[in-house]
Amino acid sequence: VDRYNRGLEKSRRTFGQKLTALFTNFNGVDDDFYDDLEETLIGADVGFDTAVQISDEVREEIETNHVSGQKEISNLIVAKLVSLYTRNGTKEDNHLVFATEGPSVFLFVGVNGVGKTTSIGKLAARFKKRGKKVLLAACDTFRAGAIEQLQEWGKRDGVPVVAGPEKSDPAAIVFDAVQKAKKEDYDLVLVDTAGRLQNKVNLMKELDKMRRVITREIPHAPQEILLVLDATTGQNAMNQAKVFQETTDVTGIILTKLDGTAKGGIVLAIRNQLHLSVKYVGLGEQVDDLSPFSPQEFVDGLFS
């Protein structure tokens, strides 16, 4: 929790400070107040539509229930932010789905540099610590150095990596990985993929082929297709997410580099505009810098 709070310090400090600043020289709510609220939310990358929606809902509640105190209003904003996040989801929706029997397979998708390989390395360590037998599959055969980077993580975590030559067919490597997982009773296979958004048709074909290979070997797998997004890229991350959603059945988001941005509001935009849950957040470059995402904890920290 300490690490989690430290990682989010930047987001909280600035987003929180700006929200708190809404109440300097506060003489009750007026149109300026709602304008400032919208501006603050937009500045935190909540997204325009989401900002307007929050502001409208806050206004309606304030007017209907005659809410007036500063404390009450900030509590109302916090509650609204959390409810916007949890509205279409279940409480436990940062949980990842595992197979009830046999190996589970998680595919990691996302463009280069967002933190796919790093997140896989962190998650492998996390699940290994919980007693799971974890295997990594180096199916990003496109980016130079991606295979070695995953192998580095494998060494660090003490987890084997199935890999092939650069530029080879990722479907062949994932095939080897799931075969090995079945034969040697692995619990979990984490699959790195190439994020070539430039060619959507090729990307779609490649991901489809990998999924077919996996499902043929292990019915119900892959259990998760996790889209990795870089929180520091704001609206760009939202655009990437839209393309990936059109390309494959994304089951959840890993939002990285939340430690490096004051724009933590993107978690609300992802939820409200894309209807996807943020399962984990990346809070730094070290192996422990990954945390399950909790909307309540996140939003609670904004005004404190």
Residues near ligand GDP, by CB under 6 A: 110, 112-118, 149, 256-257, 259-260, 282-285, 289
Q: Is the CB of 49 or the CB of 148 nearer to ligand GDP?
A: 148
Least distance in Å: CB of 3 to ligand GDP? 12
Q: What is the 3-state secondary structure (H, E, C) of the chain?
A: CHHHHHHCHHHHHHHHHHHHHCCCCCCCCCHHHHHHHHHHHHHCCCCHHHHHHHHHHHHHHHHHHCCCCHHHHHHHHHHHHHHHHHCCCCCCCCCCCCCCCCCEEEEEECCCCCCHHHHHHHHHHHHHHCCCCEEEEEECCCCCCHHHHHHHHHHHHCCCEECCCCCCCHHHHHHHHHHHHHHCCCCEEEEEECCCCCCHHHHHHHHHHHHHHHHHHCCCCCCEEEEEEEHHHCHHHHHHHHHHHHHCCCCEEEEECHHHCCCCCHHHHHHHHHCCCEEEEECCCCCCCEEECCHHHHHHCCCC
Q: Is the CB of 22 or the CB of 111 nearer to ligand GDP?
A: 111
Least distance in Å: CB of 241 to ligand GDP? 14
**What φ, ψ does residue 279 adopt, rounded to 5°?**
-90, -45
Least distance in Å: CB of 25 to ligand GDP? 36
Q: Are the CB atoms for 257 and 278 separated by under 8 Å?
A: no
Q: Is the CB of 143 or the CB of 220 nearer to ligand GDP?
A: 143
Q: Is the CB of 115 or the CB of 252 nearer to ligand GDP?
A: 115
Least distance in Å: CB of 137 to ligand GDP? 13
Least distance in Å: CB of 198 to ligand GDP? 15
Q: Is the CB of 52 or the CB of 197 nearer to ligand GDP?
A: 197
Q: Is the CB of 248 or the CB of 256 nearer to ligand GDP?
A: 256
- Angstrom distance (rounded) from CA 244 to CA 184: 32
Least distance in Å: CB of 32 to ligand GDP? 36
Q: Is the CB of 134 or the CB of 150 nearer to ligand GDP?
A: 150
Least distance in Å: CB of 259 to ligand GDP? 5
Bridge-based pairing of strands 290-292 and 278-282 is: antiparallel
Q: Is the CB of 240 or the CB of 251 nearer to ligand GDP?
A: 240
Least distance in Å: CB of 142 to ligand GDP? 10
Residue nearest to ligand GDP (CB): 282
